């Protein structure tokens, strides 16, 4: 045979799927699909963290899973399941820093050198967001204890990089957060997806039901209005309402508890729960 042995039949080379020998016979393809499906199902998992801790309201634009990325992970952590990396774009990092320290100025378009405060903030965000990501893909479990990993002699090979792109409601700027997963960690995820482990409760249905995820809704304010006034509402209108002294905690719109709201270190917390008897 003469000429080029790679016959693409007019298909662009960049659109071809390149097989990796270590992935053959394994269900690696499930990982990107699994991450994207969970992101679409629970788009505010990371956004709620920023809103709760930094008063930054983020809207998820898209979730993409890459097989490679030219930029290295800014933080690398070692866990019992493998290594996980973390990177955050500068605009979102500086915005979190401003909001955390109570600054009122928006992040500058200039790019000064990374400060020590930014490094500490990035490391803190890396651990918190990596564990939030872990709980979303491991059904509530974490990666285990995350310890900073610094080894200039051993290069870490990443199998997948999950990118979450957000738009800040404060600045209107879009920024991305990257979670890097190494081979050992992807192997663990693949194993769990392919061969789900048997229940640790030995098949006891009562114990399994107790560990099902349940969403609690806390009603901190309510207002009764005629339908005509509701239809007249426009963007930017202000409604006068008073916070409830005792807030209702609901499951599927059914009252379960009543509690009190208080603020601690910039976060709203619910306390003094009391059961509500339902007929």
User: DSSP assignment of the chain, as one string?
Assistant: --S-S---TT--GGGSPPP-GGGTTS-TTHHHHHHHHHHHHSTTHHHHHHHHHH---EEEEEEEEES--SSPPSEEEEETTEEEEEEE-HHHHHHHHHHHTT--SPPPSS-PPPPHHHHHHHHHHHHHHHHHHHHHHTTT------EE---SSSPPPEEEEEEEEEEETTT--EEEEEEEEEHHHHHHHHHHHHSPPPPTTTT-HHHHHHTS----EEE-------HHHHHT--TT--------SSEEEEETTEEEEEEEEEEETTEEEEEEEEE----
**Residue 30 domain flag:** yes
Give the pLDDT of residue 25: 47
Residue 109 lies inside a defined structural domain of this protein: yes
Above 70 in pLDDT, residue 201? no
Q: Are 88 and 155 in the same domain?
A: yes
Q: How many other CB atoms are there within 10 angstroms of residue 181's CB atom?
A: 27
More confident residue, 23 or 159: 159
In a domain, 9, yes or no: no
Residues 60 and 172 in one domain: yes
**pLDDT(5) > 70:** no
Give the pLDDT confidence score for residue 128 in this predicted structure: 95
Q: How many domains does the chain have?
A: 2
The predicted pLDDT at position 249 comes to 86
Kindly state whether residue 10 falls inside one of the protein's structural domains: no
Q: pLDDT-derived band of residue 23, with 50, 70 and 90 as boundaries?
A: low
pLDDT band of 210, cuts 50, 70, 90: confident
Same domain membership, residue 189 and residue 219: no
Q: Output the pLDDT for position 220.
A: 82
Mark whether 151 and 55 lie in a shared domain: yes
Residue 134 falls within a domain, yes or no? yes
Taking the model in full, what pTM does it have? 0.63
Lowest model confidence (mean pLDDT) among 141-150, 201-210, 228-237, 256-265: 201-210
Does the structure show a pLDDT above 50 at 1? Answer: no
> 159 lies in a domain?
yes
**CATH number, residue 144:** 3.40.1550.10
Residues 188 and 250 in one domain: no
Overall average pLDDT of the 107-127 stretch: 80
pLDDT at residue 50, as a whole number: 93
What percentage of the chain carries pLDDT values higher than 90? 30
For residue 255, give its domain range.
214-275
Same domain, 187 and 221: no
Identify the residue with better confidence: 252 or 161: 161
Q: Tell whether 30 and 115 lie within a shared domain.
A: yes
Shared-domain flag, residues 69 and 171 = yes
The rounded mean pLDDT for the chain is: 81
């Amino acid at each position: 045979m003469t000429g080029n042995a790679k016959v693409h039949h007019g298909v662009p080379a960049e659109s071809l799927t390149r097989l990796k020998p270590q992935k053959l016979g394994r269900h690696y393809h499930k990982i990107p699909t699994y991450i994207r499906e969970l992101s679409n199902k629970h788009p505010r998992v990371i956004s709620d963290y920023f809103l709760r801790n930094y008063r930054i309201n983020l809207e998820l634009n898209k979730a993409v899973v890459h097989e490679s990325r030219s930029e290295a992970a800014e933080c690398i952590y070692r866990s019992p399941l493998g290594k996980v990396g973390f990177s955050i774009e500068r605009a979102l990092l500086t915005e979190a820093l401003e909001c955390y320290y109570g600054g009122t100025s928006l992040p500058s378009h200039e790019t000064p050198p990374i400060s020590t405060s930014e490094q500490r903030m990035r490391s803190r965000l890396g651990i918190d967001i990596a564990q939030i990501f872990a709980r979303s893909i491991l059904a509530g479990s974490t990666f285990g204890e995350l310890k900073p990993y610094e080894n200039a002699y051993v290069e870490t090979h990443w199998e997948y990089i999950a990118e979450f792109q957000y738009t800040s409601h404060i600045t209107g700027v879009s920024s991305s957060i990257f979670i890097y997963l190494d081979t050992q960690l992807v192997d663990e995820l693949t194993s769990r997806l392919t061969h789900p482990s048997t229940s640790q409760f030995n098949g006891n249905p009562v114990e399994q039901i107790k560990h099902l995820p349940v969403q609690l809704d806390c009603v901190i304010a309510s207002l009764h209005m005629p339908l005509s006034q509701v239809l007249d509402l426009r963007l930017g209108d202000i409604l006068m309402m008073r916070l409830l002294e005792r807030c209702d905690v609901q499951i599927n719109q059914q009252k379960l508890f009543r509690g009190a709201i208080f603020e601690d270190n910039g976060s709203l917390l619910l306390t003094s729960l009391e059961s509500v008897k339902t007929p």
